[in-house]
Structure 1
Amino acid sequence: MVKQYMDYKDPDLHYSYDLGQSRFFTKNQDNYINVLGKEQLPTIGNVFLLDVFLSTGNVVEPHYHSNASELIYCITGETIVSMINPSTNELKNIRIQSQQVVTIPQGWWHYFAASMDHTHVLTIYDTPELDTVWGSDVLRLTPPQVFAHTYCLDQGQIQQALAPIRDTVIIGPPADCDRSRGRYSNKDAYYQPYYPSNPYYTRGMHPHYNDS
């Protein structure tokens, strides 16, 4: 845990903050993220927050945090949190609703998507400064020929497929997405066998479950 010296006799210290004044990312009026860390509130201690608002089908893109574990708390709506366990190579998909949480260990690859409108989640980290590696940056900054050579793929096809990723996505799909190219259903994107012993596993991922 990082220890920071704070002079609590300083009359200029603040102990409250309006997250609405600190935007981290905006896709549109229904999909955006506010941020709170020591830059916004020096007295916050060893905590970092992202205040996330999503509408149906919008995804906080695949990423990992190199310096922090994460707690995802659903305030309103419903989200499907997906993570890969690096010890077992297992993909877990966990659906949470209001007042339910999911933990993401430090360094785990993960992403989450809203399955209904007006979804609001708070992500909480055990660090005052968050380091994030976004999937879109990995894809757009790695030369296509590296992917082609490493995985024995066609370089032209890779280059064409990745060309639309020009910036860090954060909340996808981008507003100018070609839906015919990037279309998928909830079941296609988050398919995972259903484990009845765990009530937070997504029932809609079971092949015999009617998600309509």
Structure 2
Amino acid sequence: MTKYMDYSSPEAQFSFDVNESPLFKKDNQNLINVLGVNQLNTLDNTSLLDIYLSKHNFVEPHYHQNAAELVYCISGAAIVSILNPFTKEILNYRISPGQVANVPQGWWHYEEARKDNTHLLAIFNSPVPEVVLGSDILKLTPSSVMAQNYCMNENAWINTTEKVKPGTYIGPGCLEQERHSPVRQTYFNYPPYYYQYGPNPQYNRQCIPKTF
């Protein structure tokens, strides 16, 4: 549906502090801020994620079913890995400040920081990009289905994925590390439109808001 903005309205917003819009925080060095039309109502078909990572931390494997993504490196260094669905190849692109990697709409991908203090911008051609996270696929698909399809004992599958938590966003996210970390993963209490980014709605009671 086309949205028409009255740019003469006193409610029209033309600036916003992205630091005031957290999406996910693993710790003080690994976090994601979000900007979309729900934060800045004069935006058209664009939005972004403001991503901070320390070395060897990942934005977990995922895809955006309604948006392409341009990953721009502001500082540090990262590897952007993309699964090309046509060639069935994993493509790895090293980016440093001023360089970009392009992820077409719906392509499975992930990013790994290769230096501390890595800062990335993920820019989308959608006002609110949707996301399917690898952690959600692993935990929300019934274990019986996964075991049967991949010829595994169901208990073995359950044990293998025991440490996976829905809505991980930034990994590694092992339970042992979280128990001993002074900073716990935090999910923020957003209005309903944030659930397109956040944990699956069936986990909202457990994860929003709650500090683990």
The interval holding the TM-score normalised by the smaller chain is: 0.7 to 0.9
SS of the residue 1:136 aligns to:
helix
Q: Deviations over 1:39-65 (max 9, x none)?
A: 100011110100000000100000000
In the TM superposition, residue 3 of structure 1 has moved relative to its aligned partner by 3.8
Quote the residue 2:123 is aligned against.
Answer: 124
Moved over 3 A (4+): 175-178
Amino acid at match of 1:122: L
* Cα distance between partner residues in 1 of 2:124 and 2:44: 11
Tell me, what secondary structure is at the counterpart of 1:88?
Answer: coil
Is 2:91 aligned against 1:92? yes
Contact 2:163 2:175 (C-alpha < 8 Å) held by counterparts: no
Q: Which sections of structure 2, spanning at least 5 residues, go unmatched? A: 178-212
Tell me by how many angstroms 1:171 deviates. 0.1
> 1: distance between equivalents of 2:82 and 2:13?
36
Q: What is the match of residue 16 of structure 2?
A: 17
Q: Does 1:150 align with 2:172?
A: no
C-alpha displacement of 1:166: 3.1
Aligned length: 178
Q: CA deviation at 1:160?
A: 0.3
Corresponding letter in the other structure for 1:168? G
SS at match of 2:4: coil
Report SS of the residue matched to 2:52: strand
* CA–CA distance in structure 1, aligned partners of residues 29 and 140 of structure 2: 29
8 Å Cα contact 1:56/1:117 also seen in 2: yes
Task: Report which stretch shifted further, 6-15 or 105-114.
Answer: 6-15
State the shift of 1:11 in Å: 1.9
Distance 1:14 1:68 in 2: 23
Structure 1 partner of 2:66 = 67
**Structure showing greater Rg:** 1
1-structure distance, mates of 2:165, 2:96? 33
Task: Please name the residue that 1:33 is paired with.
Answer: 32
C-alpha distance in 1 between matches for 2:71 and 2:107: 14
Distance (whole Å) between structure 1 residues aligned to residue 100 and residue 72 of structure 2: 5
Counterpart CA distance in 1 for 2:122 and 2:36 is 12
Which runs of 5 or more residues in structure 1 are unaligned?
Answer: 179-212
Residue in 1 aligned with 2:47?
Answer: 48
Query: Structure 1 residue 137 and structure 2 residue 150: aligned?
Result: no
SS at match of 2:42: helix
How far residue 143 of structure 1 moved from its aligned partner, in angstroms, is 1.3
Moved more, 148-157 or 30-39: 148-157
Q: Is the 8 A contact 2:164 2:173 kept in 1?
A: no
For normalisation by structure 1, the TM-score amounts to 0.81
The one-letter amino acid of 2:89's match is E
Counterparts of 1:143-182 in structure 2, within 5 Å, are 143-174=142-173, 176-177=175-176
1:110 and 2:109 are equivalent in the alignment: yes
- Cα displacement (A) at 1:174: 1.4
| SS, match of residue 42 in structure 1 | coil
Tell me which residue corresponds to 1:182. Answer: none
TM-score between the two structures when normalised by the length of structure 2: 0.81
Determine the structure 2 residue equivalent to 1:199: none
Across the aligned residues of Structure 1 and Structure 2, the Cα RMSD in angstroms comes to: 1.5
Match of 2:192 in 1: none
One-letter amino acid matched to 1:106 = Q
